[in-house]
A and B are shown apart, each in its own frame.
Chain A
């Protein structure tokens, strides 16, 4: 919403400086976005008078003037032909910046004569293009500020434009008068009375109006208008054009400019039809037809197809206007228009909003009607606008024709003065509270307050509190401590899952990964590669083709990030993210994953040969470290049941029975290729919620039992088929004697051609060490041998292998 200060002063009697006004506006909730103040650059200049002028001794076209200024008499050399004794001029002193010539003045010497400043032309002050001579003012006193003189004599030249942001609840402030009312309530002036115009119609309107029964209760409760004949639609007067230009509107013609003036001045959008383009003697307000598609070429030159939920104004030949949003081109006014029909109506905000949105029309009328105009101002606005048309365009007005009646919005709420203290914490006397509301247009009867018809947003007692607090200024609010919930040390506040999320994040970072936050929506192709991309998780209105589907997994985002970093020249990286993935499109179909991605080498090249390519066992170790940090049990199952974006032979799932906690492995080469990542890449993905919470509810640890007896380590090597998994052997060995065997650890495997040459085709060897921990007495050789024999037997049976000799 834009307006000028002089426009505001049409409604507000105030002497407050612009700075005070803008500060108050922002504080009142009418946030000032911009002030364009032409006076600012003219502020230093003052009026002066030439008391004597004579020819420069060394130049024919220059004059040496003695000028009376607020600082006494000064000598100024001037080249203007009109510089002569007795005239009142505009003085620019040394040190002043002159905008039109982009110069900061100094004391100069012109052909040997000192000059203390200059007398300006209009062009030099950017007032107009006039540069035939210096400004000669017909009035004004020496020393007076030029801007003050302009404000009185040529106000439009120094009229500041103020641009404020209007929140959706304040349609009344979409008119200058509403803004003025707020300022008056704040105490920055007095709201001037609204001029009343009562037009006596000279003849019955040849065009009648009728609202269809479907619309009368909701869509259009009230529609009024009148014919004005014999108008002359030329350009509007300068003052009106300047106002519109100042707020960024293009003056078009007197009739159009008048409707814009009412839209911005009083939040009363109007429409003017060319009466001679209307067929028949009636305008119908109705929904667009459902049996046929009605189309209209609107004032913006575009064709709109009307749907049956949209309100139109139609004549005998069809739609002439999109009700409350935009008129039609055919029935619009031009310079040749002589007879018009002026419309003033009240439209239902919801229907207007839906129509405007569907047609994608953003007009000033839609903007106001969908927020709500004053339903009680329909007729008064019509009369005021009629008066202005008669004043500016001549003509003769008919009687008013109307259908329906002003929407009854009367309601009242109880004003409880104590609510202000309890809800806001401000202490304001009841009398002041009542006066504030009255200043805003509320009617008070006893303790009941009736909001004015222009405030559709006031819908309860809390709104009364808000209005009083707002006008009193929230800036004055003093903070008051929020009492603690409980005395003493604060209790923990995070849920177990929230704690686990943090532990996962910190652990992965500690393992050397850099945390990323990638978008929750990804492109369709990436989503499909990771089992997503269904319609249920599709975004109806994506902002780009890269962001069309909610991500099914964190890996695609990390892989895309990896590809971007590879393109920047980074070959080695460890990236991770902890965040939500979306299994479906319903609220809650959301999982928390922690996912790490390793690409390239584990370390940079160094003198010690630390560099080697990352592999599956890096990812597995990291996954296990995170699971351990999250409190997962040590005994888990490793399966090969993984999704198809993993390398089928080099990936695994870590689970507890059917509950899969994590997946690790190489990312499938085909997926890497599709995502533009130079591989190989290994990764892990942990479902944070799938890690069971520890069963123990106490911080107490289990007792530590230490044996003084020497443990015995025995190494075993088995020849097995190449696809026998080490874990099978380990579990078999562990099961050989549960009380005696403390741990089984794989320390070697021998595979490949050399191994097969030694042990036979399709064979490999795995070696592990078993630690035997006696509990009661030192083991004898016989006991050790017995245990070993049992291990050999169990492992052979489980793996089908033999002890390597």
Chain B
């Protein structure tokens, strides 16, 4: 048996000493190959006595397995070492920038319009639309602003050119989203709940005014909708939109030709440290105009004021966007400065919804 031990020691040493796969293969062939030393010994077993053969065979098999295992282990070790060596050479400077991906953005006006839609949609308001070049009837007359009404002058209206042979009064660029009230009621009748966000135009340009801006109109008509419902609706809206636990609104009597009674609505806020906080503090900030739809407006849209009543409100979308997101300058909304678009814009997948919170 000493022979086998010697053999074992010889090959295990050889296995351990093999420096690469080919050297290891040579060892394998020398030991276990067809003409290998151990294979030869196995072949010689046939010539032995059966009794001796049994014991010698078992020992030889043991030796064979042992060397085979050593060969495999060494092979795996060599492969690992080779991989480690390769990986050592595969070093990259991972502080290099990643491959560029374009980063788009959504304009705050679009984002806020979707926020409005999410909130009012939940309260059952559909989204109505109307033309931006509007007849003076829809923009004024139907809203109880007859031609010589002083309120018309206060609207700073843009007029469309009128051909000399066209006797109709000139069309206007809608000065508010209120004409959509008329169009929506005319098309749908009552009851109705709609909001109408969109572009409006006034001839006004200074630090705080742009000749185009965005408004959202709200309209709810039913048998018994009251101004108290209006107040609740606006409270709920403001609470949800500004994403604060509670808000306080103050209704102030005012006048709009198309509502009666009319109220300007202020929201409680603080300006502590120059930072606007909605829902707390001692200041009031005017945020919108509202009221109960004037009977003449209902009648103009073909809705019987003896049977139906309800509220309407109008609010500046750019303005509430500025308040909510701390955007300082209205005119910058329309200048398309890439720095501004990227800073104040929203990610493409940042779609406002109520379960996830509007701005989260």
Closest Cβ–Cβ distance, residue A586 to chain B (whole Å):
7
- Complex interface: chain A residues within 8 A of B348 (CB): 506-507, 509-510
Contact B132 A479 (CB under 8 A): no
CA distance A759 to B115 in the complex (A): 60
Q: Which of A329-337, A482-490, A641-649 contacts the other chain?
A: A482-490
A537: CB under 8 A from chain B? yes
Q: Which of B39-47, B72-80, B331-339 contacts the other chain?
A: B331-339
- Complex interface: chain A residues within 8 A of B295 (CB): 460, 462
Contact with A along B250-284 (1 / 0, CB 8 A): 11111101001111100000000000000000000
- Complex interface: chain A residues within 8 A of B123 (CB): 482, 484, 490
Closest Cβ–Cβ distance, residue B206 to chain A (whole Å):
11
Closest Cβ–Cβ distance, residue A528 to chain B (whole Å):
15
- Complex interface: chain B residues within 8 A of A422 (CB): 224, 226, 309
Contact B228 A517 (CB under 8 A): no
- Complex interface: chain A residues within 8 A of B151 (CB): 168
- Complex interface: chain B residues within 8 A of A478 (CB): 228, 231
Residues 99-149 of B contacting A (Cβ, < 8 Å):
99-107, 109-110, 114, 117, 121-127, 129-135, 138, 147-149
Q: Which of B15-23, B26-34, B155-163 contacts the other chain?
A: B155-163
Contact B341 A515 (CB under 8 A): yes
A279: CB under 8 A from chain B? no
A193: CB under 8 A from chain B? no
Residues 473-530 of A contacting B (Cβ, < 8 Å):
473-475, 477-482, 484-486, 490, 492-495, 498, 502, 505-521
Residue in B134, B333, B351 whose beta carbon sits within 8 Å of that of A517 in the complex: B333
- Complex interface: chain A residues within 8 A of B204 (CB): 543
Contact B345 A514 (CB under 8 A): yes
Contact A535 B333 (CB under 8 A): no
Q: With A28-B253, A519-B334, A607-B96 in contact, do A587 and B106 touch (Cβ < 8 Å)?
A: no
A27: CB under 8 A from chain B? yes
Residue in B102, B114, B160 whose beta carbon sits within 8 Å of that of A574 in the complex: B102
Contact B103 A610 (CB under 8 A): no
Q: With A516-B341, A539-B173, A574-B104 in contact, do A470 and B132 touch (Cβ < 8 Å)?
A: no
CA distance A606 to B148 in the complex (A): 64
- Complex interface: chain B residues within 8 A of A31 (CB): 252, 254, 264
Contact B114 A502 (CB under 8 A): yes
Contact B232 A538 (CB under 8 A): no
CA distance A371 to B150 in the complex (A): 7
Q: With A31-B254, A485-B193, A543-B203 in contact, do A353 and B148 touch (Cβ < 8 Å)?
A: yes
Closest Cβ–Cβ distance, residue B333 to chain A (whole Å):
6
Contact A349 B148 (CB under 8 A): yes
B3: CB under 8 A from chain A? no
- Complex interface: chain A residues within 8 A of B225 (CB): 482
- Complex interface: chain B residues within 8 A of A26 (CB): 252
A590: CB under 8 A from chain B? yes
CA distance A271 to B234 in the complex (A): 48
Contact A568 B337 (CB under 8 A): yes
Residues 49-93 of B contacting A (Cβ, < 8 Å):
none
* Chain A residue nearest in CB terms to B228: A425
- Complex interface: chain B residues within 8 A of A510 (CB): 104, 348-349
Contact B212 A425 (CB under 8 A): no
Residues 365-384 of A contacting B (Cβ, < 8 Å):
370-371
A784: CB under 8 A from chain B? no
* Chain A residue nearest in CB terms to B153: A357
Interface size on B, residues (CB 8 A): 98
Q: With A425-B226, A510-B349, A541-B203 in contact, do A587 and B333 touch (Cβ < 8 Å)?
A: no
Contact A512 B104 (CB under 8 A): yes
Among B97, B104, B109, chain A packs the most CB atoms within 10 A around the CB of: B104
A167: CB under 8 A from chain B? yes
Closest Cβ–Cβ distance, residue B74 to chain A (whole Å):
41
CA distance A487 to B279 in the complex (A): 30
Residue in A511, A520, A544 whose beta carbon sits within 8 Å of that of B102 in the complex: A511
A550: CB under 8 A from chain B? yes
Contact B336 A516 (CB under 8 A): yes
Among A350, A460, A466, chain B packs the most CB atoms within 10 A around the CB of: A466
A212: CB under 8 A from chain B? no
Closest Cβ–Cβ distance, residue A606 to chain B (whole Å):
6
CA distance A516 to B337 in the complex (A): 9
B176: CB under 8 A from chain A? no
Contact with A along B218-235 (1 / 0, CB 8 A): 001000111111011111
B294: CB under 8 A from chain A? yes
Residue in A492, A540, A582 whose beta carbon sits within 8 Å of that of B170 in the complex: A540
Residue in A350, A505, A506 whose beta carbon sits within 8 Å of that of B349 in the complex: A506
* Chain B residue nearest in CB terms to A485: B124
Q: With A510-B104, A517-B109 in contact, do A494 and B336 touch (Cβ < 8 Å)?
A: no
Contact A515 B232 (CB under 8 A): no
Residue contacts A-B, CB under 8 angstroms, 30 given: A27-B252, A27-B253, A31-B254, A169-B255, A370-B148, A371-B150, A422-B226, A424-B292, A477-B251, A479-B231, A485-B124, A486-B124, A494-B127, A505-B110, A515-B104, A515-B110, A521-B211, A535-B161, A540-B162, A540-B170, A541-B158, A542-B158, A543-B211, A564-B337, A565-B338, A568-B338, A574-B102, A575-B338, A585-B161, A606-B100
A-B contacts besides A508-B104, A521-B158, A535-B163, 9 pairs, CB < 8 Å: A31-B252, A424-B292, A470-B253, A479-B231, A479-B235, A480-B232, A514-B342, A538-B161, A590-B132
Binding site for B on A (CB under 8 A): 26-29, 31, 167-170, 349-350, 353-354, 357, 370-371, 421-426, 457, 460, 462-463, 465-466, 469-470, 473-475, 477-482, 484-486, 490, 492-495, 498, 502, 505-521, 535-544, 547, 550, 557-558, 561, 564-565, 568, 570, 573-576, 578-580, 582, 585-590, 602-604, 606-608, 610
